Chain A
């Protein structure tokens, strides 16, 4: 018996794997990105405190999604990609 694969789907056009470069954690601008669940922000603030031991915390910014149940907007993601070398995304589940 031959069946139709119920999981088949086509990849959207232009879906190639993205790669990113190395990060200088002591100097590069870093974004702390919270998914807006309880304690995600607190976790990232704790990490910001740790970073203070190895660099100035200038250049470390904090953003959060408008709601835990909605994806970040394309503008928010594009803006982050333009301005920061690294992002730490915390999922507070």
Chain B
């Protein structure tokens, strides 16, 4: 972060909430929903919540400007965050700014990817992030505001304006807010961030440029083997970027599916390996033109199949959600990474 906190101020006059929102919409600062005005006093409460955070930020694509804490906090205020959410938002930003994330590509693309944020570790409960029923849906302020804050930062500081630098053909509801917590308490597997090498006491945000979740309904399979068949079948898609470009994806196991698989002896690692192998797509399902295009890029099938993930480890497995026989498949932009960043918390 800069030694000197710097920001610009805008005098908007003595206006009410409605007039403020009209003003903000006219400036192009909004995602379409009403926002809270980022007054100096509100922004100061947020910056004081991260006063111990001295890590610098890289320039944000596509505008290529270096953010200041105050401009980032202004967006978190506008999104409806509480000050204690702000460290989570900053960790999310640091995750998407990692070079392997390919932020510029994920924002300028025609593909409908939003910035998925998975929160792991103790902060989930401290700031009330929903990890259970409807964790990717509406209803919980932390999920909605944290996910929205990152999107607003990329819009306003990054400059990813729809129709201008954000060239998505359709976009996605995932581009409003896309944040959820791992249901560590209901998971039979070690937490996601621990499997990635972080300490269990760390709180971590993992981001991925992701399509909206695809549901995996399986009420009948009562074995791990049966569930693997259904999940792999859902992942085996032509038309998703993963089959074009490979890269990472997420499989979000509902706790009931996860418990069934663990009961039958499956571990996170053996699930990843099985899904990698069984989600491959046979060449007969791919158009002749695509096969020719891929061959021109020196990309060839392996034993007549294309794999939608780069490796078993690129299938990011996490347990989240509440009761019910559903899991989720979340394809990515392809040329991106599931990038993790530890949350810097005040001591």
Binding site for B on A (CB under 8 A): 1-12, 15, 36, 38, 66-67, 69-71, 93
Interface flags, B47-87, vs A, CB<8A=1, else 0: 00000000000011001111110110111001000000000
Could you show 8 A-B contacts with beta carbons less than 8 Å apart? Answer: A3-B74, A6-B78, A8-B71, A10-B68, A38-B293, A67-B297, A70-B335, A93-B110
Q: Tell me the complex Cα distance, A8–B57, Å.
A: 14
Is there contact, CB below 8 Å, between A4 and B102? no
A1 near B64 with CB under 8 A, answer: no
Q: Are A71 and B105 in contact (CB under 8 A)?
A: yes
Further pairs besides A8-B70, A8-B71, A15-B64: 20, Cβ < 8 Å: A1-B13, A1-B14, A2-B40, A3-B9, A3-B12, A5-B71, A5-B74, A6-B75, A6-B78, A7-B29, A7-B71, A7-B159, A8-B6, A9-B60, A9-B66, A67-B245, A67-B335, A69-B105, A69-B334, A69-B335
- Using A10-B2, A67-B245, A69-B245 as known contacts, say yes or no to A4 and B104 having CB atoms under 8 A apart: no
A34 to chain B, nearest CB (A): 11
Per the bound structure, the CA–CA distance linking A68 and B29 in Å amounts to 29
Which residues of A sit under 8 angstroms from B111, Cβ to Cβ? 69
Once the chains are docked, how many angstroms separate the CA of A9 from the CA of B12?
20
* Contact between chains at B65 and A9 (CB < 8 Å): yes
Contact B14 A6 (CB under 8 A): no
Q: In the complex, what residues of A have CB within 8 A of residue B64's CB?
A: 12, 15
Q: Which residues of A contact B109 (CB under 8 A)?
A: 69
Chain B contact residues (Cβ within 8 angstroms of A): what range? 35 or more
B98 on interface, CB distance cutoff 8 Å: no
Residues in A neighbouring B2, C-beta threshold 8 A: 10
Q: Which of A12, A69, A70 contacts B66 (CB 8 A)?
A: A12
With an 8 A cutoff between CB atoms, is B126 at the interface? no
Q: How far is the CA of A36 from the CA of B245 in the complex (A)?
A: 13
Taking the closest CB of chain B, its distance from the CB of A10, in whole angstroms, is: 4
Complex CA distance for A38 and B152, rounded to whole angstroms: 32
Identify which of A5, A11, A12, A69 contacts B102 (C-beta below 8 A): A69
- In the complex, what distance in Å separates the CA atom of A3 from the CA atom of B24? 11
Partner of A4, one of B38, B105, B159, B297: B38
Contact residues in B for A6 (Cβ distance below 8 Å): 29, 38, 71, 74-75, 78, 152, 156-157
- Please name all residues of chain A whose beta carbon is closer than 8 Å to the beta carbon of B67 when the two chains form the complex: 8-9
Q: Are A4 and B334 in contact (CB under 8 A)?
A: no
Tell me whether A1 and B293 are in contact (CB under 8 A): no
Q: How far is the CB of B26 from chain A (nearest CB, A)?
A: 13
Tell me, in angstroms, the Cα distance from A8 to B104 when the chains sit together: 19
List the 10 closest A-B pairs by CB distance, nearest first: A9-B65, A5-B8, A6-B74, A4-B74, A69-B335, A8-B71, A6-B156, A10-B66, A8-B8, A4-B43
Contacts of B335 in A (CB 8 A): 67, 69-70
Given A1-B20, A3-B9, A69-B333, check contact A9 B68 (CB 8 Å). Answer: yes
Is the C-beta of B39 less than 8 angstroms from some C-beta in chain A? yes
B68 engages A8 (CB within 8 Å): yes
Min CB distance, A46 to chain B, in Å?
A: 17
Least Cβ–Cβ distance between A70 and chain B, in angstroms:
5
Which listed residue, B9, B63, B241, touches A5 by the CB 8 Å rule?
Answer: B9
B226 to chain A, nearest CB (A): 35
- B268 CB–A CB distance under 8 Å: no
A residues within 8 A CB of B59? 9, 12
